[in-house]
Amino acid sequence: MCRQLPGRIAGCDTPGKPGSRLGGVSEWDIADIPDQSGRTFIVTGANGGLGEVTARALAGAGARVIMACRNEVKARAVADSIGERAQVRRLDLADLDSVREFADAVGPADVLINNAGVMALPLTHTAQGFEMQFGTNHLGHFALTGLLLDKISDRIVTVSSGAHLIGRINLADPNWEHRRYNRWQAYGQAKLANLMFARELQRRLTLHGSDKLSVSAHPGYAATDLMFHTDSLVHLIMPLGNRILAQSAEMGALPSLYAATADVEPGGFYGPNRLGGMRGHPGPSGSSAASKDEVTARRLWDLSEQLTKVTYNFG
């Protein structure tokens, strides 16, 4: 299908032009973002890394961008460099009170991009006592999306990761209270939860006759500062990996931008199209069998509503 977007029909480019998906590998790039004038995007974690690139690209395409960030000082510096199309609102996804305050204060928007996240932290907890990675990456965005659903007119994009492949959803102990904590397995669980949430949200939107979209994306192996906040040996060896394998944050943000602005499949998952999904331009991405488990996804949804005390209203 070709979904009409402002300025042109996205995803229906002619053969041979950048962004063409006919007869070969997609080379979709920032230049292929349709005109976004008159549209509003909410981007979480837009004060650096992939979120900053996403905010800059959307504003460059004419959109109004609401940068939802915990670090307001850093975010305002980025917003000032972007210009009048960017504004900052405080949002701490590790505190559900902050999530509710943000959702109550923000106005309507066309697209919500659930981008913010933490990676491979030592065992710490959110304001409500959830394991930090599960609580921030999944529960914070689950609550935010539910509270904003009536205000979002077009689509919700949730950023997952290739690390979902190592993830397992432990419904009996999602917050690692009764088992030995492993920071990477916890990160994998959180990123798997992101992907399962995006797909389950689409199933529920479709069931209720909504034309809103829920899609997900992953950046592949992108060189950002996220990996330098793990408080582990990883941040010592990552510079070598970045030089050998990683692509730029600008390339890593392309799947999110594609998912947010192009013609996409409902419930689709998008990521880089080369080197096993680690590098390249955006295209459809494969995922684990666990990510397609609809029974666990429904149970995760119920658990998430119970933990966050946010119940979705599909109208």
Contact 291, 164 (CB under 8 A): yes
What is the residue type of 303? L
Q: Which of 181, 187, 258, 270 is catalytic?
A: 187
- CA dist list (Å): 213 to 260, 266, 313: 10, 6, 15
Instruction: State yes or no: is 187 an active-site residue.
Output: yes
Q: Which residue matches tokens 């809103």?
A: 212
Contact 144, 93 (CB under 8 A): yes
Q: In what order do the strands lie in the sheet with 109-114?
A: 86-90, 64-69, 40-44, 109-114, 152-159, 213-217, 269-274, 279-284
Q: Which residues are annotated as catalytic?
A: 187
